[in-house]
């Protein structure tokens, strides 16, 4: 596959699920987002903002870089 490597859309998508879970008032759900990539992040500023927003939610984000790109 080729093209831009944008992480912010998927981080925001999972964050919406986590926010909804938090609004329900149950601590029964915790979300883990594992991103495995072989490309450099092309939306770095938006990804940073998404991660900061998600840090207040019941979720963890793990980003694993594979290959020779500069992660």
pTM for the predicted model, two decimal places: 0.87
- 24 φ, ψ (degrees, to nearest 5): -70, -15
Give the contacts of 63 (CB within 8 A, at least 6 positions apart). 7, 35, 37, 71
Digit-coded pLDDT (tens) for 12-61: 999 999 999 888 876 678 999 999 999 889 999 999 999 999 999 999 99
Residues 21, 22, 25, 30: is their CA dihedral positive or negative? positive
Q: What are 10's strand-pairing partners?
A: none
Q: What is the pLDDT of residue 56?
A: 95
- Whether residue 1 has pLDDT greater than 70: no
Question: CA angle at residue 13 from 71 to 62, to 5 degrees?
Answer: 35
Q: What is the pLDDT of residue 22?
A: 86
Q: What is the pLDDT of residue 39?
A: 84
């Amino acid at each position: 596959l080729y093209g831009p490597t944008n992480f912010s859309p998927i981080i925001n998508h999972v964050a919406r699920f986590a926010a909804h879970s938090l609004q329900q008032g149950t601590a029964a759900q915790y979300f883990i987002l594992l991103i495995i990539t072989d490309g450099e992040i092309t939306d770095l500023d938006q990804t940073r903002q998404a991660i900061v927003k998600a840090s207040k939610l019941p979720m963890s984000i793990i980003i694993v870089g594979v290959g020779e790109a500069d992660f």
